[in-house]
């Protein structure tokens, strides 16, 4: 019933986020799927970078970066920024993406990305084959037309149309439909267990 595939990373879907480092006048973009939430107090994001990356050099120098969530129509630009190095190419120019001034840090955001986070480096951790940079999220921004029409602070995922990345197959996907909300299941399962007389 199960087939072994050997040692591999088959964790998916993960984000395909665009990380901007450097300054407004000399910014660089890199696409990172080795990224995740690392804490909530303060909110923090961790990104994993190869030791050789130009972005690592810029982040170490300036101590800040932005995390930008591309919409599905930016799949080509997202892919490109993960393939070429900022040592050789000016990726904002190549892709036509627009740098947008951050409010609390020097590294700019990407205007075309619907969701943006400004991050200040909190910690650097040496790992086996990458460097983990943890950034405190000091400000977030969202396109005004991508929030709920009633609650203007609530993100509307359908309007953002984020990309999801599957490293195992090297494919970019869209999201489909919402199938649940956190804490919706607890009462249902508890009720079922009670019915079954199976309460612990």
Token pair belonging to 118? 């400004």
DSSP at 184: S
Contact 23, 182 (CB under 8 A): no
**Binding residue for its own copies, selected from 25, 51, 52, 88, defined by CB under 8 A:** 88
Minimum CB–partner distance for residue 89 and its own copies (Å)? 6
**Binding residue for its own copies, selected from 23, 54, 72, 121, defined by CB under 8 A:** 72
**Binding residue for its own copies, selected from 23, 54, 63, 130, defined by CB under 8 A:** 130
Helical residues (DSSP H) of 63-100, grouped into ranges: 75-83, 91-95
**Binding residue for its own copies, selected from 26, 85, 124, 157, defined by CB under 8 A:** 157
Contact stretch for its own copies (CB under 8 A) within 20-28, 53-61, 149-157: 149-157
Residues numbered 104-123 forming contacts with its own copies, rule: CB under 8 A: 111, 115-117, 122-123
Compare residues 106 and 118 and give the one whose CB is closer to its own copies.
Answer: 118
Minimum CB–partner distance for residue 115 and its own copies (Å)? 5
- Does residue 37 touch its own copies according to CB under 8 A? yes
Compare residues 77 and 106 and give the one whose CB is closer to its own copies.
Answer: 77
Burial grade of 92 (CB within 10 A; 0-12, 13-18, 19 or more): buried
Residues 6+ apart with CB under 8 A from 152: none
Contact stretch for its own copies (CB under 8 A) within 21-29, 58-66, 188-196: 188-196
- C-alpha distances in Å from residue 8, one per residue of 26, 31, 58, 196: 37, 21, 30, 40
DSSP at 193: H
Q: Using the structure block, give the residue that is written with the tokens 């007389």.
A: 197
- Does residue 85 touch its own copies according to CB under 8 A? no
């Amino acid at each position: 019933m199960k087939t072994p595939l050997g040692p591999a990373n088959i964790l998916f879907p993960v984000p395909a986020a665009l990380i901007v480092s450097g300054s407004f006048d000399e910014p660089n973009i890199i696409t990172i799927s080795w990224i995740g939430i690392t804490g909530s107090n303060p909110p923090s994001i961790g990104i994993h970078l190869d030791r050789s990356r130009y972005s690592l050099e810029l982040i170490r120098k300036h101590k800040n970066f932005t995390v930008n969530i591309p919409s599905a129509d930016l799949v080509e630009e997202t892919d490109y920024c993960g393939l070429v190095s900022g040592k050789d190419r000016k990726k904002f120019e190549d892709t036509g993406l627009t740098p947008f001034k951050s409010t609390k840090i020097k590294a700019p955001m990407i205007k075309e990305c619907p969701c943006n986070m400004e991050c200040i480096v909190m910690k650097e951790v040496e790992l086996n084959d990458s460097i983990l940079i943890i950034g405190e999220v000091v400000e977030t921004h969202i396109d005004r037309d991508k929030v709920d029409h009633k609650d203007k602070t609530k993100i509307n995922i359908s309007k953002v149309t984020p990309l999801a990345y599957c490293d195992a197959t090297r494919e970019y996907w869209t999201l489909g439909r919402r199938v649940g909300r956190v804490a919706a299941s607890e009462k249902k399962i508890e009720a079922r267990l009670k019915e079954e007389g199976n309460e612990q």
